Structure 1
Amino acid sequence: SLPEEAFKKGLANPLNSGGFLPNLLGTMLPPSDPSLAEEVSAAELGEPQSSSEAEDDDRGRSCDRDIPLEKTHVVAEAVMKLGANLLRQVELENGKGNLFFSPLSISLALAHLALGAANRTEEQLLKALQVESVPCPHQALRTVSQHLRQTLSIAARLYLQKGFPVKEQFLEDSEKFYGAKPATLSGNSEADLAVINTWVKDATHGQIPTMLTELPASVVMLLLNAVHFRGFWKTKFDPLLTEPDTFYLDDEFTVSVEMMRARVYPLSWFNLEAQDVQVARFPFKGNTSFVAILPNHPEQNFSRLLSDLSQANFQSHFPKERPTMVKMPKLHLQHHLNLEQALRQLGLGELFSAPNFHPITEGPLVVSSVQHRAALELSEDGVEASAATSVSMFRSLSVFNLNQPFLFIIQEDTTGIPLFLGAIRNPNPSAPQERKTSDCAVGGDGKLFPCSTDQEKP
């Protein structure tokens, strides 16, 4: 199955029927049947509203030049910071289960929303995105997106209710920067719901068959956006070596998981002593990698660790590949996040009460919900989805064993953009947990790892 996200965001008119009118922003692939939605011009959506040239200049729309890719490194840093901030907030809200989401997808969605925001609302969005000091942020994101399309699929669709007055500049910029073409909703909620869910199902290759269970009749705007990635290991794992093994949840409990194995795997990895973690890079074919971050102590705070690693510029420490004995659990994740509370904690509470979306329309709009969906399968073939530093190297045959809670990043290597981010605390949550039996030392690096009495010897 494919890693794909469904990131939903609702814009609503708070004065209509005394409630919010959901507008959903989702992350999907383009439909295989383009007739699912009728592309329309601004004139068909209602009386188009114009934007003044002064307003355009004030909002930085005079940045018509293309930005070279080499000048967009700040975008990668910003996306990683947003990912770490969201991980921290979601951990506080949801506890310590598995997490999987796309910082890239969420960044693109919030940036698209910022395109339709003004004054303090726009400032708050750009600050949360960590791009408030980036000149021409929409142009920078467009450059990055165009580069990433060599590796993954990024697409968007903008649905609007007939008669909803949208400013032409927002429609033009939505397509220019984020590739979101406008299409009309029929006004029949049941028919529109079927069209949207069919689009989503086709876009995600059937992985998200039902994005919405209901669509309020008063909906005014719906934006669907998709990021999809499929990666194959540069060095595959042998399925014949995959077998049940022990995963150590903490200092007390274990669970049985399907563990992929390689006795001699060409792996680039190192130990960061200041953060007390091991970091390894498993390359995919092409220009992407699966970066695994293994804390030496399972109870380490994942979000703080990710922030510390970003500041330590850990990407610059990867050594040459060396023969390594590897164990990695197979993963199959389906994850849904309601991000409203997390975004409120990041300073975006105004989105849900009294934002300024005048670049979209003169009427009042608010965000009614923010949701994110993601799916991932990690198997022998690959993956489908999306202070001072001391570095230690080891000369003897090394072992990299993902048999306790770990973080991972699926990244594009040229830009360092984190496409997907995951925190795995239990790869097999449906299996019964058992009490841990013993500890022992494994590998030529002298590091201590929890292990059972029947653990395979290197």
Structure 2
Amino acid sequence: MNLLYFTTSLLLISTALCGVKDLRDHYESRNGAVGARSASPQNAESLQDDTVTNDLIPEGDDEEDYLDFDKILGEDEEDYTDIIDVLPEIKSTEKIPGNIYELFPGKTRIQRLNIINANFGFDLYRSIKETTNATENILLAPVGVSTALATVSLGTKGQSQSQILSTLGFKDFINASSKYEILTVHEVFRKLTHRLFRRNFGYTLRAVSDLYIEKDFAIREDFQNNLKNYYFAEAQIGDFEDKAFLSKINQRIHKLTKGLIKEALSNLSPDLLLLLVNCIYFKGTWENKFPAEYTHNANFRVSDKEIVKVPMMKTKGNFLVAVDSELDCDVLQLPYVGNISMLIAMPHKLSGMKLLEKQLNSHVVEKWQKIMTNRTRDIYLPRFKLEKNYNLKDVLSNMGVKDVFTAKADFSGITNEDINIGLFQQQGSITVNEEGTQAASLTTVGFTPLSIQTRFIVDRPFLFFIYEHRTNCLIFCGRVSNPTKS
């Protein structure tokens, strides 16, 4: 069985409109620069080294890299406010806490899909957490994995496709309306790419997908057309045994991620036939910046036995805050300029992280956002930088996506040859500093406003979630157990 490799170089996502063409044309026609506003870090000699990467590619605007999706797709704003509320009947015996359909009424199709994507992201987080030490940091870009698997599903059939649709929750999405079908999922991903592809909203969010094909490997034309139509994936023919070819792919990833992802494709199998690369890039500036002169050394309790010194940032302003008495944690929303923010959930006790991680789902996040109250606070948040690289083959297989990694894989939608996925890799990097971030049951819980506290001090392990609010898209998420480690 030949190998199909899939890698998500996460800190960026992608978008490109092209057919199969020579690699030289691809690189000569685009320079891969990603426009964004710079956020220059300020250093303090009394603190440890700044967490900002110093060798990033200079920021710049390149109109050729920013596609006019409004013109390309010919869609207007009504496409995103159209609400379809033909929900499946749920028998009384099926009305269990946490039923996903309870979150769907009043939501657009994009928001519904992102509720599904977030739930999958939380499940993926839990699966990775099971193989990770409690004091280790975690970083994921859930929408990147969802997009990648949705893209792969275009070329699958039979049980291989069914496993992807079930594990990601796409079947639940399809069942939400009599007007939905499998292609609806891909159509909504197409619009989601449109909505998330932003640079003039006060932040930069960039999505790019590329498809690389071995020069002697034939794939179905309809698969190529679907990739182009739904995911804007640009296919290029090349030679995976040619080091210069791999070097150019690495250079492109390096540019698209502004230097955050380096040497992504260092060890590839010589049997490689097809490579799909998905990148996500985000850069945001805090609405309330943390003045560098307020940053100071402070204690951060990693565990009952370990305390580390961290550069603790400080700011003051009006912030949305809540306390979840059921999960025994505080919740803080830190907005970036634009309709995007970082949500922080911090257990009151070190031992409370296990319960929070276990119970986390889209219902809980929605309740947090509904119960939050706006108060003037002093906010203390450690600077941190995370860099992670995960091979998700075993994780996804344990979650239910099994066949695509084995001889049972049915990729007859791509080719007549027998292929499977030999690598499913996600790399990520996130930097949080004073300027911002570069880089996502009806559960009835007892929520009460955090109204009497005047300070929110993040001095122990916490979870973070970066949401684009208009689409309800969970872009990045993770756990910071020790800010001094990446």
What is the match of residue 75 of structure 1?
113
In structure 2, C-alpha distance between the alignment counterparts of 1:325 and 1:369, rounded to whole Å: 45
Q: Once the 2 structures are TM-superposed, how far is the Cα of residue 304 of structure 1 from its aligned partner?
A: 5.1
What is the match of residue 123 of structure 1?
162
2:315 matches 1:258: no
Task: Say which SS state the counterpart of residue 111 (structure 1) adopts.
Answer: helix
Q: Once the 2 structures are TM-superposed, how far is the Cα of residue 25 of structure 1 from its aligned partner?
A: 5.1
Q: Which AA in structure 1 matches 2:482?
A: N
In structure 1, C-alpha distance between the alignment counterparts of 2:457 and 2:145, rounded to whole Å: 31
User: Whose Rg is larger?
Assistant: 1
What is the match of residue 300 of structure 1?
352
2:194 matches 1:141: no
The CA deviation string for residues 117-161 of structure 1, in whole angstroms up to 9 with x for no partner, is 111111110111111132211112112221111251111111111
In structure 1, C-alpha distance between the alignment counterparts of 2:24 and 2:269, rounded to whole Å: 18
What is the match of residue 335 of structure 2?
283
Which of the numbers 137, 150, 168 marks the counterpart of 1:111? 150
Q: Once the 2 structures are TM-superposed, how far is the Cα of residue 36 of structure 1 from its aligned partner?
A: 5.7
| Residues 204 and 280 of structure 1, relative CA distance in 2, 3 Å threshold | same
In structure 1, C-alpha distance between the alignment counterparts of 2:160 and 2:436, rounded to whole Å: 41
In structure 1, C-alpha distance between the alignment counterparts of 2:437 and 2:113, rounded to whole Å: 24
Q: Which AA in structure 2 matches 1:109?
A: A
In structure 2, C-alpha distance between the alignment counterparts of 1:164 and 1:181, rounded to whole Å: 16
Instruction: Provide TM-score, normalisation by structure 1.
Output: 0.79
In structure 2, C-alpha distance between the alignment counterparts of 1:207 and 1:306, rounded to whole Å: 31
What is the match of residue 69 of structure 2?
none
In structure 1, C-alpha distance between the alignment counterparts of 2:24 and 2:384, rounded to whole Å: 35
In structure 1, C-alpha distance between the alignment counterparts of 2:185 and 2:15, rounded to whole Å: 28
2:467 matches 1:411: yes
In structure 1, C-alpha distance between the alignment counterparts of 2:237 and 2:154, rounded to whole Å: 20
In structure 1, C-alpha distance between the alignment counterparts of 2:281 and 2:437, rounded to whole Å: 11
| Residues 156 and 21 of structure 1, relative CA distance in 2, 3 Å threshold | closer
Aligned 8 A contact 1:235 1:265 in 2: yes
In structure 2, C-alpha distance between the alignment counterparts of 1:429 and 1:203, rounded to whole Å: 25
| Residues 259 and 315 of structure 1, relative CA distance in 2, 3 Å threshold | same
In structure 2, C-alpha distance between the alignment counterparts of 1:306 and 1:147, rounded to whole Å: 31
What is the match of residue 362 of structure 1?
416
Task: Say which SS state the counterpart of residue 334 (structure 1) adopts.
Answer: strand
Task: Say which SS state the counterpart of residue 351 (structure 2) adopts.
Answer: coil
Q: Once the 2 structures are TM-superposed, how far is the Cα of residue 73 of structure 1 from its aligned partner?
A: 2.1
Q: Which AA in structure 2 matches 1:182?
A: A
| Residues 395 and 22 of structure 1, relative CA distance in 2, 3 Å threshold | closer
Instruction: Provide TM-score, normalisation by structure 2.
Output: 0.75
Aligned 8 A contact 2:210 2:276 in 1: yes
Q: What are structure 2's unaligned runs of at least 5 residues?
A: 28-74, 82-107, 175-179, 199-203
| Percent of aligned pairs with the same amino acid | 23
Aligned pairs (5 A) from 1:227-242:
227-242=280-295
Aligned 8 A contact 1:247 1:255 in 2: yes
Task: Say which SS state the counterpart of residue 350 (structure 2) adopts.
Answer: coil
Q: Which shows bigger deviation, 65-74 or 326-335?
A: 65-74
Aligned 8 A contact 1:26 1:223 in 2: no
What is the match of residue 90 of structure 2?
none
Aligned pairs (5 A) from 1:261-340:
261-262=314-315, 264-302=316-354, 305=357, 307-312=359-364, 313-340=366-393
Aligned 8 A contact 1:29 1:200 in 2: no
In structure 1, C-alpha distance between the alignment counterparts of 2:24 and 2:351, rounded to whole Å: 48
Aligned 8 A contact 2:5 2:421 in 1: yes
Aligned pairs (5 A) from 1:122-201:
122-133=161-172, 134=174, 135=180, 136-150=184-198, 152-186=205-239, 188-201=241-254
Aligned 8 A contact 2:8 2:427 in 1: no
What is the match of residue 57 of structure 2?
none
Q: Once the 2 structures are TM-superposed, how far is the Cα of residue 212 of structure 1 from its aligned partner?
A: 1.5
In structure 2, C-alpha distance between the alignment counterparts of 1:252 and 1:215, rounded to whole Å: 41
What is the match of residue 482 of structure 2?
426
Q: Which AA in structure 2 matches 1:392?
A: T
What is the match of residue 243 of structure 1?
296
| Residues 73 and 303 of structure 1, relative CA distance in 2, 3 Å threshold | farther
In structure 1, C-alpha distance between the alignment counterparts of 2:141 and 2:6, rounded to whole Å: 21
Q: Once the 2 structures are TM-superposed, how far is the Cα of residue 235 of structure 1 from its aligned partner?
A: 0.7
In structure 2, C-alpha distance between the alignment counterparts of 1:349 and 1:29, rounded to whole Å: 25
| Residues 132 and 170 of structure 1, relative CA distance in 2, 3 Å threshold | same
Q: What are structure 1's unaligned runs of at least 5 residues?
A: 1-13, 41-64, 431-458
In structure 1, C-alpha distance between the alignment counterparts of 2:214 and 2:476, rounded to whole Å: 32
Q: Which AA in structure 1 matches 2:196?
A: L
Aligned 8 A contact 2:8 2:278 in 1: yes
| Residues 392 and 37 of structure 1, relative CA distance in 2, 3 Å threshold | farther
Aligned 8 A contact 1:158 1:183 in 2: yes
What is the match of residue 380 of structure 1?
434
In structure 2, C-alpha distance between the alignment counterparts of 1:25 and 1:375, rounded to whole Å: 12
What is the match of residue 449 of structure 2?
393
Aligned 8 A contact 1:234 1:285 in 2: yes
Q: Once the 2 structures are TM-superposed, how far is the Cα of residue 108 of structure 1 from its aligned partner?
A: 0.5
Q: Once the 2 structures are TM-superposed, how far is the Cα of residue 356 of structure 1 from its aligned partner?
A: 0.7
Q: RMSD across aligned C-alpha pairs, in angstroms? A: 2.5
Q: Which AA in structure 2 matches 1:91?
A: K
Which of the numbers 344, 353, 356 marks the counterpart of 2:397? 344
In structure 2, C-alpha distance between the alignment counterparts of 1:167 and 1:350, rounded to whole Å: 21
Q: Which AA in structure 2 matches 1:145?
A: T
Aligned 8 A contact 2:323 2:449 in 1: yes
In structure 2, C-alpha distance between the alignment counterparts of 1:357 and 1:329, rounded to whole Å: 46
